[in-house]
Amino acid sequence: MERKLLEVRNLHVRYNTDEAVVYALNGLDIDLEKGETLGLVGETGAGKTTLALSIMQLLPQKVGQITGGSILYDEKELLKFSVKDMLALRGDKISMIFQDPMTSLNPVMSVGDQISEVLEQHFPELSKEQKSEKIDEIMNMVGIPSSRKVEYPHQFSGGMKQRIVIAMALIAEPDLLIADEPTTALDVTIQAQILELIRQLKVKFNSAMILISHDLGVVAEVCDNVAIMYAGEVIEYGPIETVYLKKDNHPYTRGLFNSLPELTRNVDRLEPIMGYMVDPTNLPAGCSFAARCDRCMDICISKKPPVFSDGAHSIKCYLYQHWADK
């Protein structure tokens, strides 16, 4: 097996706000190999962005706090990195595309300058001409005429802004790209284009990618593996083909599938998952999903389920206790 690019183990993150302590990540594990694409799915508040920011070490200062666990990047502990080492990593080896392109560009700086900033930071040895050449190249790759690099963000549409953000994230040819719902804020017609662009460039630069989404369909198209998150934990993980077989799934994942409209199948009505996400300031002792689960057992209420695995497929649910005996 290839060397792991990223290993997140038992990660705990919380937000200390004035009102309450929000337990955003509660023992989260993920693995990522070089070049792999992992889909990260979960409803709003599951902690997807929190995970991304934890890896980038960009959690809001003072409020966001990593209370336990480890993040190994290329077998080095990121949580022990100095500020300087982290700066060198960000934007170069690990880069990120944010949720909302409308607000993620500086309104008073030309887009060319904003892309150039990455080069200034990580490739100071390049001459002015070389930088300019690289910027032209990446802009053409994301489909924006390089003559427009002198323009400002407000002169571009939402989809074009996201292309510029993508250019910024990829110009350094990162080993790991974290795309946090890169298309949610965009028009449906543009979503597919942008996703395809990200996918192509990721392959071109041989980057690994974590694609955060709450769209199971998108994940199926783009990703190798999928991790389903619930209340700050990965409750199911496996290769796309296995998880999407819909044979063995966590009840929550099953709920997600059932709440998807399927064009090929005629269903009278969709079955949404009943109830609301658990209150992250007040987590239950047992399984976080127990309160909403239609197959909840006594043990689910009292004890947190560990991971049960069947090959590459793993589920945190007592329904799969028999996998442990395999």
Ligand X SMILES: Nc1ncnc2c1ncn2[C@@H]1O[C@H](COP(=O)(O)OP(=O)(O)OP(=O)(O)O)[C@@H](O)[C@H]1O
CB of 83 to other proteins, least distance (A): 8
- Judge contact between 245 and 213, C-beta under 8 A: no
Question: Counting contacts by CB under 8 A, is residue 267 touching other proteins?
Answer: no
Binds 63, which of other proteins, ligand X, Mg ion, none (CB < 5 to 8 A, cut-off by type)? ligand X
For residue 107, state whether it binds other proteins (rule: CB under 8 A): yes
Which residues are 7's β-sheet partners?
A: 31, 72
Q: How far apart are the C-alpha atoms of 177 and 71, rounded to whole Å?
A: 16
Q: Tell me the number of residues near other proteins by CB under 8 A.
A: 28
Residues of span 118-177 touching Mg ion by CB under 5 A: none
Residue 67 contacts other proteins per CB under 8 A: no
Residue 13 vs 139, nearer CB to ligand X: 13
- Quote the least distance from Cβ 155 to other proteins, whole Å: 8
Instruction: Compute the distance between CA of residue 47 and CA of residue 264 in angstroms, rounded to an integer.
Output: 32
Single-letter code of the amino acid located at 239: P
Binding site partner of 42, from Mg ion, ligand X, other proteins, none, Cβ cut-off 5-8 A by kind: ligand X
Phi-psi region of 62 (alpha: psi -120 to 50; beta: other; left: phi over 0): left
Q: Does 49 interact with Mg ion (rule: CB under 5 A)?
A: yes
Residue 15 or residue 289: which is nearer to ligand X going by CB? 15
Q: How far is the CB of 308 from other proteins (least distance, A)?
A: 36
In the list 88, 297, 299, 307, the residue contacting other proteins (rule: CB under 8 A) is 88
Residue 296 beta carbon to other proteins: minimum distance, rounded to whole angstroms: 39
Bridge partners, 158 (sequence order):
none
Q: Report the residue number, 60 or 275, with the smaller CB distance to ligand X.
A: 60
Listed ranges 104-112, 280-288, 296-304, 310-318: which one lies at the site for other proteins (CB under 8 A): 104-112
Kindly tell me which of 15 and 308 has the beta carbon lying closer to ligand X: 15
Over the Cα atoms of the chain, what is R_g?
A: 21
Stretch that binds Mg ion, among 41-49, 55-63, 81-89, 291-299 (CB under 5 A): 41-49
DSSP 209-235: EEEEES-HHHHHHH-SEEEEEETTEEE
54 lies in the site for Mg ion, by CB under 5 A: no
Q: Looking at residue 16, what DSSP letter applies? A: E
> What's the CA gap between 92 and 287, in Å, rounded?
38
285 is a contact residue toward other proteins (CB under 8 A): no
User: What are the φ and ψ backbone dihedral angles of 73, each rounded to 5 degrees?
Assistant: -115, 120
Minimum CB distance to ligand X smaller for 28 or for 168: 28
Chosen from ligand X, Mg ion, other proteins, none, partner binding at 46 (C-beta under 5 to 8 Å by type): ligand X
Closest CA to 212 of 54, 63, 83, 64: 54
Residue bearing tokens 């796309």: 240
Longest dimension (CA), the chain: 67
Is 197 an interacting residue with respect to other proteins (CB under 8 A)?
no
Chain residues binding ligand X by CB under 6 A are 15, 17, 22, 24, 42, 44-50, 60, 63, 214, 280
Segments in the chain forming alpha helices (H): 48-56, 83-89, 111-122, 128-141, 158-170, 188-205, 216-222, 240-243, 251-258, 298-302
Residues that bind other proteins (CB under 8 A): 56, 58, 87-92, 95-96, 98, 100, 103-110, 117-118, 121-122, 152, 154, 165, 168
